[in-house]
Structures are given as C-alpha cells and as structure tokens.
A and B are shown apart, each in its own frame.
Chain A
C-alpha cells in the first residue's frame, strides 16, 4: 500500500511542476506565440501526469475508466484548441516577435 502512495505522490508532484512551468512561461515569454508554446505543455503534460497519479492511487475501478476518458478526451482536444488559436492569430495578422524587439 505504501509503494502505491509514493508512486502516485511522485506523479502528482511532476504534474504540479509542469503546471508551475507553464504559468511562468505564460507570464515571462515576450510574445503570443511563445506563450502558446509554453501553455501547450501545461495543458497536456501537467494535466495527464496529475490524472495518472490519481489513477494509480485509485486502483482498478469504474472511476479509473472515467479518469482515462477525461485524459484521453483532453489529449485529443487540447492540441486542436491550441492549433485553432494559433491559426486564428496568424490569419488575423498578429505580429511575430523577433530577437531584439520590444516585449508585447
């Protein structure tokens, strides 16, 4: 029982680390596109690691199947949403940050 607790805690901590990383990228990066790059990692990787930690803690029940459904759904639609946002910004003509420019 102790090993399961330790492994699930490690996965939860990894997920929290990626969440914090995505937030720092959202605040510190200079451009919309680079911010989108940072938050894409935060969306898929952090969320899936936290859900894997919950699944390991839970064992094999119906709740594990539901967690797997949430995780698989978000793994499918998260990159699609990110891509749609990026394409909308690029078609609209949002300027791209180059090295030496001012932050925007």
Chain B
C-alpha cells in the first residue's frame, strides 16, 4: 500500500511548483514571504510522505527539525521587516 502516499506526494510536489510562481513574481516582500512559508509547510508534509514511500521512518525526525527551523525563519523575517533591525537595546 504505497500508491496513495505516492499520489499525494506527487500532488503536493506539483503544488510546491505552482507556489513558486508567487515566490518569484509576487509583488512586494510580503507576498514572497507568504509563498516561502507555504512552501516550507508543504516540504514538511513531503518529507513525511517520502519517509513512507521509501520505507524509512527516520525522515520524521528531519521533518520535526525542519518545522522548527521554518517557524524561526518566518518569525525572524517578519520581525525584521516590521522593525528594520533585529536587536534593539
């Protein structure tokens, strides 16, 4: 029973490809940031599905790490664009 994981993985990979249009063309900074955020979320799901497809469940640990890193990146970019600096005394 590997076929549903494969089909859903291919669907999510093609939606990542479609989202990159907004990341490249999108007017302004914020549209690009939201496209990158969505691509990060879909990459987490794609990592979990890839772990099932090639039957290596260790990929879930990588997905957990990637979730933490993507969240920290989003928060830092949002705060940087809002304030114009990262560390204020």
Contact = CB atoms under 8 A, between A and B. Distances in A.
A8 B4 contact: yes
B78 to A, nearest CB: 4
B80 to A, nearest CB: 9
A81 B37 contact: yes
A96 interface: no
A63 B41 contact: no
Contacts of B78: 81, 84-85, 87-88
Interface in A75-92: 77-78, 80-82, 84-85, 87-89, 91-92
Given A88-B82, A91-B82, A77 B71 contact: yes
Given A13-B8, A27-B22, A84-B74, A54 B48 contact: yes
Contacts of B75: 80-81, 84
B35 to A, nearest CB: 7
A84 B79 contact: yes
Interface of B: 1, 4-5, 7-8, 11-12, 15, 18-19, 21-22, 27-28, 30-31, 33-35, 37-38, 41-42, 44-45, 48-49, 52, 57, 60-61, 63-64, 67-68, 71, 74-75, 78-79, 81-82
Q: Which 10 pairs from chain A and chain B are nearest by CB?
A: A88-B82, A81-B74, A88-B78, A84-B78, A77-B71, A23-B15, A9-B4, A66-B60, A12-B8, A16-B11
16 contacts: A8-B4, A13-B8, A16-B12, A19-B11, A23-B38, A26-B34, A26-B35, A35-B22, A36-B34, A50-B49, A51-B48, A57-B52, A73-B64, A74-B67, A84-B75, A92-B81
